[in-house]
């Protein structure tokens, strides 16, 4: 099996240039290439990069990430529903939740945003060993965005999942139909206002996860 | 033929299949047929259904249909506390279940800015590799059985049991350890475990050697797998293939080495195996080498296991600070990651589960075009998916 010998790779930790400079450079490159379509970015030093772009620049951002940043690897795509839902408890049975708390104001995560629904995609560069998360706001009245299939064919199934779970329409997607749920299913289960019926109809035994010792204070 | 949508791509596909039918009818006067495989076919590791449109013995188009086992973990995770979530995610890839817990815990630790003590990280890594060995062992037997060789699967089940015994001895669960905690591990290793594990690793190396001759050295196996289901590296990456599937296409990328998670892989000497061919044989070959490499990783980790505590200081009631974090590790099936959004509560606000098999299997409509019917089974088997990892 000599012809199939493995690549001899050095597994010792390599001295990297400052990762944050690399992330700053990525953000700057994307900002240059997208122009007005670029909204903002957020960097956690040595850890991760988030970039938010305008909805119309969604596919351009993916193309730029692939061609300029070398993010060949399509990791995943999904959406986030930022509708506040304290503890997810507003869906609980009445016994579990005798005094419902008022909902917190809606607050988007890293790299900001204004809308309830945000698209999220994760891309990765296998040469740089670095990934980034790209977000885009979706206005409430028009939950639609362009498909990424032309850039990354692997986006196909992820978009079908986001379509059925969040009700987001992907323009020019050739085959937008249910992937997990049965065809006649109504509603979008991962939206925050979709009730989890099992919790609503009976108490949940796991509601008290950790019981405090006598005299111990909640930290 | 059902009604044709107005969409252009559908129309083109329709015209193409009609043309294929017409051409075929002229040549040998057969009609295209639709072959349904599953949802109970043994090649599917669960309940994957595959609908293939055939032209004679060739596949014109194939479409996997899943969701028979969708359990909605992303929704359920939103109403469970962080420690409760690990119970669920154990069941995503049920053959390597400890490995499922690790990236979620790492994501939560990232948000809490907690780091597990070294001993916990090392034991995590050992158990992670044991999960990999248990998982891949079954693949090595199972792919052979799908190609018609019955013996290897029994040997695989027999030897996998030794590894599962070790996992059970350490964690209390054969399949669902639920052992990883934010900030460390539930327990330390039991007495005598390290020596027993060394012996098991010895056995697993023998197992790998045996399989190298028995399966890889088998002429029929080679004939059935060489050149079948070739995935070019760039196509594989664009579809999100990860793990051994992409390494078998010559991509030298392994999150154990290249990721930035705090596991103990950088403390040991090991290498990443790749294969240039990208076919079914290469995928089997890479997995076999990785299993052997994993036994060496375990041995080295056990040699250098540091002493010390196994839990960092974390509050007993865990509230995770607001923020977002993505942590991914190299699981037996490929990259598994969790994107955790926290609002500072007891429960995560949103958990996106990036499971390896979902992306790995999404290439099948592309990959199965034009292959012969028996090769469908070879290709599905060599891509190696677990239905729980697709359906989540």
Beta-carbon contacts of A218 under 8 Å, excluding residues fewer than 6 positions away, are A212, B317
Band the pLDDT of B7: cuts 50, 70, 90: low
The nearest CA of chain A is from the CA of B61 a distance in Å of 14
Q: Within an 8 Å CB–CB cutoff, is residue B273 touching chain A?
A: yes
Q: What is the mean pLDDT of residues A143-165?
A: 90
Band the pLDDT of A116: cuts 50, 70, 90: confident
Band the pLDDT of A104: cuts 50, 70, 90: low
pLDDT of A101 reads 63
Contacts of A162 in chain B (CB under 8 A): none
Beta-carbon contacts of A104 under 8 Å, excluding residues fewer than 6 positions away, are A84, A86, B343
* B14-23, B127-136, B140-149, B184-193: which is most confident: B127-136
Query: What is the average pLDDT score of chain A?
Result: 78
Distance (Å, rounded) from C-alpha B201 to C-alpha B166? Answer: 10
A148: closest chain B residue by CA: B238
B107: closest chain A residue by CA: A47
- Contact residues, B window 275-314, toward A, CB-based 8 Å cutoff: 275, 285, 289
Q: Calculate Rg over the CA atoms of chain A.
A: 22
Distances (CA, A) of A149 to A156, B4, B318: 6, 21, 40
Band the pLDDT of A2: cuts 50, 70, 90: very low
Q: Calculate Rg over the CA atoms of chain B.
A: 22
Q: Which of B356, B366, B225, B367 is nearest to B283 (CA)?
A: B225
Does the distance separating the beta carbons of A219 and B317 come in below 8 Å?
A: yes
Closest CB to A6 among B269, B274, B323: B274
B257 within 8 A of A9, measured Cβ to Cβ: yes
pLDDT tens-digit series, residues A35-91: 887 888 888 877 888 888 888 889 989 998 888 888 889 889 999 988 876 545 555
Band the pLDDT of B86: cuts 50, 70, 90: confident
Q: What is the mean pLDDT of residues B41-57?
A: 75
Beta-carbon contacts of B286 under 8 Å, excluding residues fewer than 6 positions away, are B244, B247, B248, B273, B274, B275
Contacts of B366 in chain A (CB under 8 A): 153
Distance (Å, rounded) from C-alpha B91 to C-alpha B98? Answer: 9
Higher pLDDT, A103 or A183: A183
Distance (Å, rounded) from C-alpha B168 to C-alpha B134? Answer: 12
B331 three-state secondary structure: strand
Q: Which of A21, A15, A20, A25 is nearest to A45 (CA)?
A: A20
Q: What is the mean pLDDT of residues B303-319?
A: 85
Contacts of A72 in chain B (CB under 8 A): 234, 237-238
pLDDT of A9 reads 44
pTM of the predicted model, to two decimals? 0.83
Q: What is the mean pLDDT of residues B85-104?
A: 88
Band the pLDDT of A174: cuts 50, 70, 90: confident
Q: Are strands A48-53 and A130-138 parallel, antiparallel or unpaired?
A: parallel
Q: What is the mean pLDDT of residues B265-271?
A: 87
The nearest CA of chain B is from the CA of A67 a distance in Å of 12
Q: Which of A154, A137, A174 is nearest to A57 (CA)?
A: A137
Does the distance separating the beta carbons of B238 and A72 come in below 8 Å?
A: yes
Q: Is the pLDDT of residue B133 over 90?
A: yes
Residue pairs between chains A and B whose CB atoms are closer than 8 Å: 159
A135 three-state secondary structure: strand
A99 within 8 A of A16, measured Cβ to Cβ: no
pLDDT of B345 reads 79
pLDDT tens-digit series, residues B142-156: 888 888 888 888 989
Q: Which of A125, A128, A3, A71 is nearest to B276 (CA)?
A: A3
Band the pLDDT of A97: cuts 50, 70, 90: low
B273: closest chain A residue by CA: A6
End-to-end CA distance of chain A: 59
* A28-37, A176-185, B325-334: which is most confident: B325-334
Q: Lowest mean pLDDT: which of A110-119, A160-169, A197-206, B51-60?
A: A197-206
Q: Which token pair is A156?
A: 């196909």
pLDDT of B30 reads 61
B252: closest chain A residue by CA: A7
pLDDT of B3 reads 44
CA B367 vs. chain centroid, Å, equals: 18
pLDDT of B202 reads 92
pLDDT of B352 reads 92
pLDDT of B297 reads 92
Q: Which helix (H) or strand (E) holds A124?
A: strand A117-125
pLDDT of A10 reads 46
pLDDT of B204 reads 92
Interface test with B, best of A104, A179, A211 (most B CBs within 10 A): A179
Q: Within an 8 Å CB–CB cutoff, is residue B269 touching chain A?
A: yes
Q: Which helix (H) or strand (E) holds B195?
A: helix B193-211
Q: Which helix (H) or strand (E) holds B341?
A: strand B334-342
pLDDT tens-digit series, residues B15-37: 666 666 665 555 555 667 888 88
Query: What is the average pLDDT score of chain B?
Result: 85
Interface test with B, best of A45, A52, A67, A75 (most B CBs within 10 A): A75
- Strand partners of residue B324: B341
CA B34 vs. chain centroid, Å, equals: 29
Closest CB to A122 among B260, B326, B341: B326
A172 three-state secondary structure: coil
Contacts of A12 in chain B (CB under 8 A): 266
């Amino acid at each position: 099996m000599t012809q199939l010998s493995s690549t001899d790779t050095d597994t010792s930790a390599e001295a990297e240039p400052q990762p944050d400079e690399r992330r700053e450079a990525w953000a700057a490159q994307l900002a240059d290439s997208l122009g007005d379509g670029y909204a903002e970015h957020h960097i956690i030093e040595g850890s991760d990069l988030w970039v938010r772009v305008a909805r119309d620049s969604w596919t351009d951002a993916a193309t730029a990430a692939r061609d300029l940043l070398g993010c060949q690897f399509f990791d995943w795509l999904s959406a986030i529903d930022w509708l506040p839902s304290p503890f997810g408890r507003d869906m609980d049975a009445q016994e579990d939740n005798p005094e419902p708390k008022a909902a917190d104001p809606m607050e988007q995560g890293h790299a900001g945003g204004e809308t309830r629904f945000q698209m999220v995609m994760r891309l990765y560069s296998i040469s740089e060993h670095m990934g980034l998360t790209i977000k885009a706001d979706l206005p409430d009245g028009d939950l639609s965005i362009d498909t990424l299939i032309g850039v990354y064919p692997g986006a196909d199934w992820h978009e079908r999942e986001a379509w059925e779970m969040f009700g987001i329409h992907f323009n020019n997607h050739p085959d937008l139909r249910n992937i997990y749920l049965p065809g006649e299913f109504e509603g979008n289960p991962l939206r925050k206002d979709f009730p989890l019926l099992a919790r609503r109809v009976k108490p949940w035994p796991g509601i008290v996860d950790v019981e405090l010792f006598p005299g111990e204070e909640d930290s | 033929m059902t009604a044709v949508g107005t969409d252009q791509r559908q129309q083109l596909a329709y015209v193409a299949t009609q043309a294929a039918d017409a051409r075929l009818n002229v040549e040998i006067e057969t009609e295209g047929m639709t072959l349904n495989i599953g949802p109970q076919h043994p090649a599917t590791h669960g309940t994957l259904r595959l609908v293939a449109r055939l032209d004679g013995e060739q596949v014109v188009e194939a479409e996997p249909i899943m969701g028979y086992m969708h359990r909605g973990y992303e929704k359920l995770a939103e109403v469970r506390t962080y420690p409760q979530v690990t119970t669920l995610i154990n069941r995503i890839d049920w053959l390597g279940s400890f490995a499922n817990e690790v990236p979620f815990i790492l994501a939560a630790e990232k948000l809490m800015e907690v780091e597990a003590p070294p001993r916990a990280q090392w034991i995590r890594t050992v158990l992670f590799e044991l999960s990999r060995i248990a998982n891949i062992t079954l693949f090595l037997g199972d792919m052979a059985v799908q190609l018609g060789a019955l013996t290897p699967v029994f040997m695989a089940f027999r030897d996998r049991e030794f590894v599962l015994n070790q996992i059970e001895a350490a964690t209390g669960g054969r399949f669902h350890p639920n052992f990883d905690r934010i900030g460390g591990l539930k327990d330390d290793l039991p007495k005598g475990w390290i020596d027993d594990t060394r012996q098991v690793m010895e056995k697993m190396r023998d197992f790998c050697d045996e399989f190298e001759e028995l399966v890889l050295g088998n002429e029929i196996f080679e004939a059935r797998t060489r050149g079948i289901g070739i995935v070019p590296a760039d196509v594989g990456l664009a579809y999100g293939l990860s793990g051994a599937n992409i390494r078998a296409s010559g991509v030298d990328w392994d999150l154990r080495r290249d990721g930035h998670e705090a596991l103990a892989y950088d403390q040991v000497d090991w290498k990443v195996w790749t294969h240039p061919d990208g076919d079914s044989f290469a995928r089997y070959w890479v997995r076999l080498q990785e299993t052997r490499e994993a036994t060496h990783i375990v041995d080295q980790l056990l040699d250098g296991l540091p002493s010390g505590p196994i839990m960092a200081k974390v509050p007993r009631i865990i509230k995770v600070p607001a923020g977002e974090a993505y942590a991914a590790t190299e699981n037996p099936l490929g990259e598994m990651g969790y994107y955790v959004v926290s609002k500072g509560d007891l429960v995560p606000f949103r958990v996106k589960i990036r499971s390896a098999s979902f992306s790995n299997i999404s290439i099948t409509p592309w990959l199965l075009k034009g292959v012969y019917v028996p090769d469908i089974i070879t290709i599905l088997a060599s891509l190696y998916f677990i239905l729980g990892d697709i359906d989540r």
